[in-house]
Structure 1
Amino acid sequence: MNQAQDKITAILHTRRKELPEIERQIARWEKLKQELSSLESAVSTLRKHETTDGQTQQTLSTLRFSPVYEAISDTVASLSLLKARFSRSTLNIGVSGRARVGKSTLLQSISGLDDEQIPTGSGLPVTAVRSRIFHSVHSRATLTLHNYESFRVDVLQPYHAALDLPEAPQTLEQFASYLYPRSDVELSEAKQQESTAIPVLRRLKEMQAALPSYQEYLTGAEKVVGLDDLRKFVAYPTAEEEDAAHHTGRPAPRPYLAVKDVQIECPFPYAQVNELGIVDLPGLGELAANAEEHHLEGLQNDVDLVMLVKRPLEGMAYWGKEDGAATNLLDKARGFIQNRRDFVYLVINTGGVDEAKIKALRGDILRSVNDGQPDKHFHVLETNTADPKDVYDNALVPVLNHLAERLPVMDKQVRDGTTALASNVTQRVEQILGDIAAALVKGKSSNLDSSEQESLIREADDLRLKLAVSLSEEITELHKKARQDSGPEFQAYEDAVDQAYNNVNAWIDNGFGHGVEKWCGNAYARFARDRNSAGFAGDELNHIRVEISNFFSGIDQHFETALDALWNHLADDIISPRFGNLLQGNSGGAALSTLCHLMAEAEEPCQGLSQAVQELLALRLDYRTQLHPKVRRALDDLQSEVEDPETGEKKARFTVDLNPAGAERLLREMASLARAAAYRTRKALMQEAMVPALVIHAAVEQFDDALIRSGDSEKEFRRMARCYRDDIWPGLFAGVEAATAKGVAVINAVKAVRHTLAS
């Protein structure tokens, strides 16, 4: 088994390495679904636009996005199953079978648990909750509990549906007082003819009657219990409890109804594989509504292989219809795994059964299931499920060896099947994109004649000329402002500097932000610790330099306001009015950003024009970039050491007594030094008052050159005209181009979808 252990550990490690790519694909498909939604919205807008021709509208109206959304959801669900499979840190084996075949006994033999954790019985089904049991050094059980809503949906509603009753009660109180039919004669005529209706109705009424025994557990939380206390949470009432309930007239307790899932940890007696989990799968042959569907729920997430237990009891020593139905259910659970024999092992329980019945069942499985060839469709194992050592040797070891060899193949099949499903969806998305492209081509059928083309060129050149004139006038005005020491902009700058200067002085007066008393107390404490004042003085001057600089960086708000004003003026007063409806609904920086995007993403891209706008938007005015380097010398005097004019050597700037009076003196001297530095900084900044205006003037001048006089300017203005003709000059030209702003929105959405598909 050591080889199997090593192989299984390697398989689990390989799975975990694939998780990042699976998660990336899930995110990719979810992103694609969002982008398709944006595409659908853009298509709808174009289809409804008043200038879109009838033929294009008709073609676009035939597109169906909903089936593709559903297919993408299915793909994401399959990828999520794959993620769940590869996320597990254990190799999981499911154990299934009908009542009384020894399934629970097999689980006990593998896990070392007993009837208190995995109940067994000789009558009706005993196990009520699916349990996952893991080989571990711990011995404990973690219950995942229902809240009422999940209990209503997962437990109650299937019974209501099975009996043709109205929807299950919405609240716990309504369930407690709900009037269920007193007998099957109150059910619909169709249900009265079904033999299962009576026991299903009885089960439902038992749930209601037993509500006080599990109501407190319907919290939706997790609950850790000792293994000795587990039975009542996973098993139906015993026959004795049912008899007692019948005689006393009080319902048998049913805490298991509040339990959604159980995880049990315990040391397996014969486990040679550390990463091993056993999943108990109740449900086959039970009367509970939807029991078999619940039996399948989560199998693709939870198990790598299923051991289906069969016991040749009287009347069951053959392969019956119910056994075939069980394997058909498991076929659904194996998903993309190609071979039944990889996913399902048939286990004949030989314990307490005479050899004749074993031989009869063995022969019937060979003939009826495996077409007369041993292990053709299913591997068949034989073991006494009550003998742990026999179970280990004859069931667990063969299964683990099989998984060690075949699990990489099964994983590949699941991965490839999921990929193929995704590939089919990709084709459907490509078909939609092709239909949209065809619609846009048809929309271009109304071409301009030669005279209209000449007119369009004239309009494009005139647009460029008008922008040139307006920008030239704006540059002249900015040039004047950048070289005068008065005016609203100049005054606003001085006010911002003065505000920062006043804030610095207020901070200094307040003991550098600490309060005078606290600052002096901190200084004296450092004197006492360091036995000198130099260390504290040096640290504090460093702090003061930084803070003064930070205060003056507050003029950045003034710069932001100046930039906003520039962008608002250029966009709203110069550019937008000349571009018709193209930038409608946008203003200021948002309008410029939209223009930049439209130029770059046009059907005929105008990269030069887009770059010109982009560079203008990238303009930054801030204290640290433009001004701090020029005024930095004003703060250089804030040093704790100075040069002795006689010796030329460095000496301590401050010499004070190491007592409270010395601390107060140090505050006065440092405050005076800081005020002087702040004043010099203010003075230096005032001398740079024209810098922001000069920077703005230079930026707009560069924008004008790049937009109007670059080598490709004329060509790209004409491209813009062709691409956005009916947005820039609405109603001026006959016919419709699909590549208006509405059409470009569709084209850009298509590009986004294609980019995600290709990633």
Structure 2
Amino acid sequence: MSRRARIEEIRSRRAGQALALDRAHGRVAEVLEALRVLRTLRADLVTQVPDEARSHLAGIGAELTALLEELPQEAAALEAAAARFRRPTLNVGVIGRARQGKSEMIKSLTGLTDREVPTGDGGFCTGVTSVLRHQEGVATQAQVFFYTERSFLREVIAPYYAELGLGPAPATLDRFAGPLPPAPDGDGAVGGSRYSHLAAFHAALPAYRHYLSTPSPHPIEAGEIRRFVAQADPEEKEPYHAFRAVRQVRITTPFEHQDWTGLSLIDLPGLGDTNLQDARRLVSALQDEIDVVVFVRRPDASGDAIDTPDHQLFDHVRDGLAWADLKSCSFLVVNRCVTATKGDNTANARKMLEQWLPASRFTVSGARIADCSEPAEVAAAMDQVLDHLTDHLDELDERHLAARRERAAELRERVARLAERAGRLADLAQPADVWSVPFIRLFEDVHGQLANSLAGLVDHLREQRALTDGLLADAVDDVLRAAAEDPCHPTAEQLTVRAARENGLSVAYGKYLNESRARLSRRFLECDGALHARTDRMREEVAEVLRGPGGLAGIDASGGREFLLALAERIPRVRENGGSEIRYALRLLADFQLSYRGMLQHRVRACLDGLHADTPAMSFPHDPVPTTGQVLEMLEVAYDEALFACRSELDKMLADPSAAVFSIVEEFYDRVIAAAGSQDEWRLFYQDARTEIWPGRFAALAQHAAQLRQWSEAVAAVTAAVAAAGDSAVPADDPEPEEALA
């Protein structure tokens, strides 16, 4: 398939993804509208319900406000992503520090001249982002997109005020035209340079101010392009200022190479000084416009390296492509050139490609040396870039979509939790004298079930505390069997070679003993898995009692340790000292852990003394000196004795995990059931959480209030909107592009 056909196929696939993003945007808008209705009703209800319900509404209000701020941002991000996938072209961003050959490369690719793609060795010549699109059979033309007064002050000027600490940024151009705040003291060279940039914008305002009220896009002819994108005229004798008002210029022209149909180049301003506007513009363009990045770097003939400025540029680009792995969508063109003033940099170009680049954190998909002033060499380099782009763009697009999918899932979960909390309001809206009597009856019943079930679990564990723990027994058997089947003893030849290298059999014998000890000791670490599993099972058993007979399943959907910790966070601190027996016991149980190092290691290590060169189970005889075969037998005997000792010692303690589990669960029971005041703690907790534990049991009278019915309807609308978004979600690996966003 030709490159043009592959590009067309990608564009068609992207069109389907754009439709999915548009639908996701619509779903966000529906949820947003439902939440706005809920906000209005909340404002009406907050003054009319009992104190407890009012507190509940206050808690809902903070999250409701946060979601009403974040959802419009997500809607904007979805809209930008859809625009990205609707683009008629795939875009290649050409990026480099000033005076590296970036503009030369673009001219070689497009056939344009200094009039449209300004260059200049005396300073930072390119002043704005230019998008160059290939179109056959047309004369070169351009459209200029200007900042508005508001966007100019917010996006260009305000960052300088914030960075330099100059106080509030001006809200109008007239205010900006007034005297600038004085330069900050002690800001160093960087701060001084940034202030100079701001001062330049201020001094030149009369020269470009009228453009900030000029409608966009503003069409211009080819001969006018330089005046809007460059910082100086062709002779660099007089500065231009129009570029300061320009957000972007889009140039349409027939490129020299006609196989660029469906592709665009983006020429970004050269970085390397302290101009905040350039850095921000770069990041902004990358977020929405660029599909693949081509860095351009010209090594100095007299000496060079991949250094701090290169890494800073790399970081700017990485920040702009935060949703992607920059290595997978970036390339480096090392600009080889020979000039009378700068010399021949060919040798350093090779060093950069072969030595400096691999040793740096400047990681790219590929790199190539090319003379950026030679169209044929540049075209060959770009062929590599474009082949990679068309082969891997689906993967890069999926990363972009995954970022939106992940954010959508997070917001959907938060809205669902908010709706669940909001739905409990009717239960809380009843007066206390109405709900207190049935609550006491329900609590006494559930507390009795909890106490009986926990006591039953303790009795069951008491009966098992002297029994072998099956998980640990199996783990020990596996370790000892593997150690016996694969002792890793040396061969006679290996022992002979080692003895010659170590200057004697006795030294080699001692070192092999030490190695056997280290290897065998390492095997026993595998017992950790069994001990952790036993602890997890115990926590899950306790959690099931709390969730089932204790009626607390509605508190948190997790299980085991996570449930215990979530429950601990909900227990109120009601004792005079500000503590809580129940909270303490839950955290104690959650953090309890059986481990090899805590239970077994000290016993195993004592069994391995015979595998120590200083205390061998079989001492090395020196008169007569043993043969190689005898030394091998000594190693085997010492190893087997250590295994036997480990088996004998560990057999004595296979019931220890059962005893430890019984002890910690009995301690838990004492703290949460038997301790004085624990029932009062449970009563207060169950009272606070009654709408989650017994949903709907306290809302009978409150349902007659018209406003509460409206609230319930609004909550149902939010729940339905969230459910609609979830029902139409598509897994990340779904091959169909029609619903590419969850």
**Superposition TM-score, scaled by structure 2 size:** 0.57
1:20 Cα shift?
2.7
| Aligned Cα root-mean-square deviation (Å) | 2.8
Post-superposition Cα deviations, 1:698-740, rounded to whole Å, max 9, x if no partner, equal xxxxxxxxxxxxxxxxxxxxxxxxxxxxxxxxxxxx9952552
Post-superposition Cα deviations, 1:23-63, rounded to whole Å, max 9, x if no partner, equal 121121122112112113323433321xx333333223211
Counterpart AA for 1:363: E
Q: Which residue in the other structure is 1:228 paired with?
A: 223
Q: Which residue in the other structure is 2:159 paired with?
A: 158
Aligned length: 453
Q: Distance in 2 between matches of 1:448 and 1:349?
A: 81
Q: Which residue in the other structure is 1:359 paired with?
A: 350
Q: Distance in 2 between matches of 1:259 and 1:124?
A: 19
Q: Which residue in the other structure is 1:91 paired with?
A: 90
287-296 or 160-169, which deviates more: 160-169
1:210/1:253 contact within 8 Å kept: no
Q: Which residue in the other structure is 2:32 paired with?
A: 33
Q: Which residue in the other structure is 1:273 paired with?
A: 260
Within a 5 Å distance, the mapping from 1:460-609 to structure 2 comes to none
Q: Distance in 1 between matches of 2:337 and 2:207?
A: 36
Give secondary structure in 2 for the equivalent of 1:286.
coil
| Correspondent of 1:55 among 48, 52, 62 | 52
1:16/1:87 contact within 8 Å kept: yes
Q: Distance in 2 between matches of 1:315 and 1:195?
A: 26
Confirm whether residue 330 of structure 1 aligns to residue 330 of structure 2.
no
Post-superposition Cα deviations, 1:430-460, rounded to whole Å, max 9, x if no partner, equal 111222233434446836999xxxxxxxxxx
1:89 Cα shift?
0.4
Give secondary structure in 2 for the equivalent of 1:272.
helix
Q: Distance in 1 between matches of 2:116 and 2:396?
A: 32
Q: Which residue in the other structure is 1:744 paired with?
A: 709
Confirm whether residue 388 of structure 1 aligns to residue 379 of structure 2.
no
Q: Which residue in the other structure is 2:545 paired with?
A: none
1:410 Cα shift?
1.4
2:335/2:372 contact within 8 Å kept: yes
Post-superposition Cα deviations, 1:233-258, rounded to whole Å, max 9, x if no partner, equal 1111259544xx6xxxxxx4422222
Q: Which residue in the other structure is 2:204 paired with?
A: 210
2:427/2:702 contact within 8 Å kept: no
Closer, same or farther: CA 240–146 of 1 in aligned 2, 3 Å: same
Give secondary structure in 2 for the equivalent of 1:126.
coil
Q: Which residue in the other structure is 1:23 paired with?
A: 22
2:353/2:369 contact within 8 Å kept: no
1:301 Cα shift?
1.3
Give secondary structure in 2 for the equivalent of 1:298.
helix
Q: Which residue in the other structure is 1:189 paired with?
A: 185
1:286 Cα shift?
2.9
423-432 or 143-152, which deviates more: 143-152
1:179 Cα shift?
2.5
Closer, same or farther: CA 433–169 of 1 in aligned 2, 3 Å: closer
**Superposition TM-score, scaled by structure 1 size:** 0.56
Q: Distance in 1 between matches of 2:435 and 2:378?
A: 81
1:94/1:280 contact within 8 Å kept: yes
Q: Distance in 2 between matches of 1:81 and 1:316?
A: 43
Post-superposition Cα deviations, 1:252-284, rounded to whole Å, max 9, x if no partner, equal 442222222100011111141311110111152
1:195 Cα shift?
0.5
Closer, same or farther: CA 272–125 of 1 in aligned 2, 3 Å: same
Give secondary structure in 2 for the equivalent of 1:218.
helix
Post-superposition Cα deviations, 1:445-480, rounded to whole Å, max 9, x if no partner, equal 836999xxxxxxxxxxxxxxxxxxxxxxxxxxxxxx
Post-superposition Cα deviations, 1:666-716, rounded to whole Å, max 9, x if no partner, equal xxxxxxxxxxxxxxxxxxxxxxxxxxxxxxxxxxxxxxxxxxxxxxxxxxx
| Correspondent of 1:758 among 719, 723, 739 | 723
Give secondary structure in 2 for the equivalent of 1:405.
helix
Closer, same or farther: CA 203–240 of 1 in aligned 2, 3 Å: farther
Give secondary structure in 2 for the equivalent of 1:117.
coil
1:115 Cα shift?
0.8
Counterpart AA for 1:154: E
Q: Which residue in the other structure is 2:147 paired with?
A: 146
| Correspondent of 1:255 among 236, 239, 242 | 242
Give secondary structure in 1 for the equivalent of 2:127.
coil
302-311 or 159-168, which deviates more: 159-168
2:91/2:289 contact within 8 Å kept: yes
1:198 Cα shift?
3.5
2:306/2:357 contact within 8 Å kept: no
| Correspondent of 1:198 among 169, 172, 192 | 192
Who wins on radius of gyration, i.e. which is larger? Answer: 1
Q: Which residue in the other structure is 1:369 paired with?
A: 360
Counterpart AA for 1:41: T
Q: Which residue in the other structure is 2:330 paired with?
A: 344
Give secondary structure in 1 for the equivalent of 2:66.
helix
Q: Which residue in the other structure is 1:304 paired with?
A: 291
2:21/2:78 contact within 8 Å kept: yes
Q: Distance in 2 between matches of 1:174 and 1:740?
A: 54
Counterpart AA for 1:297: S
| Correspondent of 1:416 among 402, 415, 418 | 402
Q: Distance in 2 between matches of 1:169 and 1:230?
A: 30
1:283/1:294 contact within 8 Å kept: no
